[in-house]
């Protein structure tokens, strides 16, 4: 069974190689192709190198990447509730963090993306691609291997920490760590990578929708509202969108 997975040393080695390749490929490809270079960067750095090693070392692809039909599907819905809570916490964190942590370059990169692409392109580049390749690497290969070598809590913590560090941003380190933990929890409970891919896609898509729907909204002008009638749900969703917008919580580095 242990031969189907990587040991801790191998996991960290693959992670370091991935980070180095990610930095190099993103600088070259994004520099030459613009945001269209992002999908190629994910394939070249996050997916392909580790997958080649998996093939060479004859690891069990299905077990390593949690390529199973989801079990205990109720945990996927628990994951959605946890995700909503994480978005609120992350929005509050980011709202205050931007007051102390320099974020000008990060915000300018987001503005550039949204000014140069359609919403359809944004969803493919920043939601579909990361949801697939980042989940296969972090909640698949890394998380599954760590579970076999440590325990579930340690595996969730370490894989989430590595996930957050690879976003190279103090602004996003807490939100991505929190989300990574939720994605790992859902994978563990459902024994499948698919629910995490869906949650990751939803998270990034909501961020894109928020940015497009509320380009000039300022949370500082938000008044306390007495919620009555049938508008509770709409106001709640609007608040989540506002937190997304203010915090710029987009789990993708340009």
Domain ranges of the chain: 63-247
pTM score, two decimals? 0.81
Neighbouring C-alpha atoms within 13 Å toward the C-beta of 12: 5
How many other β-carbons are positioned within 10 Å of the β-carbon of residue 174?
17
What is the rounded distance in angstroms from the CA atom of residue 222 to the CA atom of residue 214? 13
**Distance separating alpha carbons of residues 73 and 78, to the nearest angstrom:** 9
One digit per residue, the tens of pLDDT, for the chain of length 254 reads 568 899 999 999 999 999 999 999 988 987 777 777 889 999 999 999 999 999 999 999 999 999 999 999 999 999 999 999 998 888 888 778 777 776 555 555 555 555 667 888 888 988 999 999 999 999 999 999 999 999 999 999 999 999 999 988 788 889 999 999 999 999 999 999 999 999 999 999 988 887 777 655 443 333 333 334 444 444 455 555 555 554 444 333 33
Q: Let me know: does 126 contact 204? Beta carbons within 8 Å.
A: yes
**Of residues 61, 70, 67, the one with CA closest to residue 186:** 70
SS3 13: helix
């Amino acid at each position: 069974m242990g031969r189907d997975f990587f040991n801790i040393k191998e996991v960290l080695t693959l992670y370091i190689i991935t980070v180095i390749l990610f930095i190099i490929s993103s600088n070259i490809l994004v520099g030459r192709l613009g945001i269209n270079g992002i999908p190629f960067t994910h394939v070249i750095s996050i997916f392909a190198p580790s997958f080649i090693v998996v093939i060479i070392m004859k690891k069990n692809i299905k077990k390593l990447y949690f390529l199973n039909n989801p079990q205990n599907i109720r945990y996927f819905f628990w994951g959605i509730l946890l995700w909503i809570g994480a978005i609120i916490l992350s929005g509050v964190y980011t709202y205050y963090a931007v007051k102390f942590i320099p974020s000008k370059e990060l915000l300018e990169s987001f503005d550039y993306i949204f000014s140069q692409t359609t919403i359809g392109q944004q969803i493919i580049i920043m939601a579909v691609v990361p949801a697939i390749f980042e989940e296969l690497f972090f909640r698949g290969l890394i998380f599954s291997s760590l579970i076999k070598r440590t325990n579930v809590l340690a595996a969730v913590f370490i894989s989430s920490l590595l996930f957050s560090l690879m976003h190279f941003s103090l602004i996003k380190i807490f939100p991505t760590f929190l989300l990574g933990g939720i994605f790992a929890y859902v994978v563990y409970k459902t024994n499948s990578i698919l629910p995490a891919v869906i949650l990751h896609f939803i998270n990034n898509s909501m961020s894109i929708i928020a940015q497009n729907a509320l380009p000039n909204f300022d949370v500082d002008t938000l008044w306390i509202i007495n919620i009555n009638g049938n508008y509770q749900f709409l106001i709640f969703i609007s608040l989540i969108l506002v937190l997304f917008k203010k915090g710029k919580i987009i789990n993708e580095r340009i």
